[in-house]
Chain A
Amino acid sequence: MAIDPYDAEAADGAEDLSIVMDDASTPLPRIDKPVLSAEALSLWYGDSKALDAISLEIPEKRITAFIGPSGCGKSTLLRCFNRLNDLVDEVRIEGRLRFHGTDLYAPEVDVPTLRTRIGMVFQKSNPFPKSIFENVAYGCRIQGMNRRSELEEIVERSLRGAALWEEAKDRLDESALGLSGGQQQRLCIARAIAVEPEVILLDEPCSALDPIATAKVEELMSELKDHYTLVIVTHNMQQAARVSDYTAFLYLGRLIEHGETARLFVKPARKQTEDYITGRFG
């Protein structure tokens, strides 16, 4: 994999592409101390460019939503934040990604540690073929925690945090695969918060769930906001409007507009954003 975050050309390229942003005169949110920030981030899968000079900042303990039509690069962008794109062959990244100011792609960064601080919940719930207890305890076990009493405490706290404790407390030793789709997704959230990350990335967490399960997960997200920074990818605009504080609209790998959700949905600054949220394309 060829990642070269210090490529001098990256900055130049970003300059060129940022013209699009400049002439749009979009009111970008000014955030004091962003948890995560992207600076002219571009990404290629082989020869095709998936992200094009994206710059944005993610505020602490808020929910930021990425919206946009399929294939616009919102999941790819999300997976840059915990470096899950590293697994894909022939990915090339230019620009900077910072986590509390530290370059995420600097060679001295330990990727597994990074991932314990930036957790992730996936589109398709992916519990491990283990018991509910072991699923939640997995991240802690990996970090060498093996005391049963400690783990029990963490599992209970995490399951409560993910609003799953009442449903799962009597069946902790049963296979996680026996849970319903919505429960599995909340289990994955519990698994993510068990390692106490700062940021949780959610990649379309409700797209495979029914409306009731979706409502539960959304409710959970607004609760989690008090302790964690959340970044959610969704192509359900109502969901973005309901749960998020900030929204970023991506189209064809470019960041078209980024702003407070309340403003963006009521008074979009750009024509493309308006077309998308009013359902004229996408």
Chain B
Amino acid sequence: MTPLTQRRTDAVGQIMTWLCGGMLALNLLLILGLLAILATQGLGYFWQKPLDLLVLVDGTKMLGEIYETEAIPTDDPGAPVTQRMRVKTANRDVTGSDFRWIDEASIASRSRPGDAVLLERQEWGNFHGFVRELRAHGETLASGDAEVWPQLQALVSVKSRERAALSRVEKGELGAINHRIERLRLDERRLALTGLPDAERAQRHEALVRQGEAEQREYEHVATRLGALRESFDAEILVVATADGATRELPVSHVVRGVRPNELGMLGSAGLYLSRAVEFVTGEPRESNTEGGIFPAIFGTVMMVLIMSVFVAPFGVIAAVYLREYAREGLLVRLVRIAVNNLAGVPSIVFGVFGLGFFVYFVGGSIDQLFHPESLPTPTFGTGGILWASLTLALLTVPVVIVATEEGLAAVPRSVREGSLALGATRFETLWHVVLPAAAPGMLTGMILAVSRAAGEVAPLMIVGMVKLAPALPLDGNFPFVHLERKFMHLGFHIYDVGFQSPNVEAAKPLVFATALLLIAVVLAANLVAILVRNHLREKYATRSI
């Protein structure tokens, strides 16, 4: 007999335990690593580095932020290691590029002058240099660094208010007038297409023309006001000098933000960081998306996911309810279930192609012919738009919702259904009052998965309505307020576009990480909301676990 004290060695079991634990640790590490890389690369983008004034041996002077330092690769292993630096010198309009590689050996002196300024501009990227003079209408308002700097700061905030006012007039008032004029034009076209008697038609045409003239007068009125606003907006001229002394003139209205990086201090840097981060999240993009904010992309992503949810939730849930509760279990149901599961595995671009062929060309084209014949041949719904993109994604994610809902329904114990039936409830009443509430957490799990998948999907959207720069949001103040036919921007595509399609890839690299981080944050926020709702429901309708 084996003595009780003799231990059986369980080497395999131990190894397996370690292996499982190790794999889990590896997975966690990968996820944390991903987030850490995105966070460090992306969040660093808003942090202002000091401006170094570099004087080279050959006498060239430059002001720049030092991005990185690396050893110069060499074929000769015996050679002494020399370093080179990547410097963001900005002033793209002067030098033609934002970045320069500088050999450390060629630097004669390095200093950080306190009066070095960095100006974020509406165009041409940043400017590094010194301020010299402030002019308006040919008169000098201030000259010399000490005088100009405080005035410039005040002026920049005035200009940013004026810029907002201008944009309100342009996009708001003028946009609304343009919208109305366009509608009148379409009304006229529609009139021409109808088979009204000539007299009637002439009368209506007359009315439309009169309205058009009124709108035109209003347009001119607003345009004149806008012109005056713009003139005063562009009035002040700032004279700046680059590091090597060349001066340039620059309208103050082009300056978005002016800072002296070397005099910021900790608090100033933190404030600047915050203000840039806020601009990034809430602002409009500039300079072919490589600067400014990404608000339209966030808006587009969230709105598209919401529209998709509105479609996918009822479709998926109803289909799952039929499959699980009503359909008789048999060959056909099993085939349908297999087909649904496989649908989830179809490459997403295939859905995109389907969306283009079916939604855009067929459904959209038919809608145009039926309801918008006046604007043809310009398509209204017959081209990519946020509605078609949402529907395509709804199609892509509906299997996920069906599968999760079916699992939720299957988890509702038979005894609970029988309890309801035994009280005189019909099958539908049982389903509605007992089964569906109990299965709600399962449905929400499906929605979470669907939203995650949809928010990250880019490929199919590129052919059904996503664009790199949308002129207007799909939601605005012009009737009918929600413009489902409009094209939209998307964070996922924005990452691709900024990172790999923009003219200034190197400068935009940190933006890629920041945008990716934001995309994760958006998905996380959507999931968090769903998870909170689900947990609330679980508490409320906790199914028993006996």
Contacts and interface: CB of A to CB of B under 8 A. Distances in A.
Q: Which of A89, A115, A119 has the most CB of B within 10 A?
A: A115
Nearest to A115: B424
A87 B438 contact: no
B36 interface: no
Contacts of A177: 542, 544
Interface string B437-459: 11000000000000000000000
Contact of B423 (A89, A129, A130, A142): A142
Contacts of B546: 124
Given A129-B541, A129-B542, A175-B540, A138 B433 contact: yes
Interface stretch (A188-196, A212-220, A230-238): A188-196
Contact of A84 (B422, B429, B542): B422
A142 B429 contact: yes
A158 to B, nearest CB: 12
Interface string A117-146: 001101010111110000000110111000
Contact of B425 (A82, A126, A142): A142
B211 to A, nearest CB: 54
A149 interface: no
Interface residues of B, number: 25
Contacts of A87: 418, 421
Interface in B158-180: none
Contacts of B143: none
A112 interface: yes
Nearest to B413: A126
A82 B422 contact: yes
A142 B423 CA distance: 9
B419 interface: yes
A112 B428 CA distance: 11
Interface string A95-131: 0000000000000000011011001101010111110
Contacts of B418: 84, 87, 120, 122, 126
A138 B433 CA distance: 9
B434 interface: yes
Interface in B312-339: 328
Contacts of A192: 422-423
A161 to B, nearest CB: 15
Contacts of A127: 419
Nearest to A139: B423
Contacts of A82: 422
Contact of A112 (B424, B433, B438, B544): B424
Interface string B407-421: 000000101101111
Given A82-B422, A112-B425, 19 more contacts: A84-B421, A84-B422, A89-B328, A112-B421, A126-B415, A126-B418, A128-B420, A128-B433, A129-B416, A129-B434, A130-B437, A139-B424, A139-B425, A142-B424, A143-B424, A175-B540, A188-B419, A191-B419, A192-B422
Interface of A: 82, 84, 87, 89, 112-113, 115-116, 119-120, 122, 124, 126-130, 138-139, 141-143, 175, 177, 188, 191-192, 195
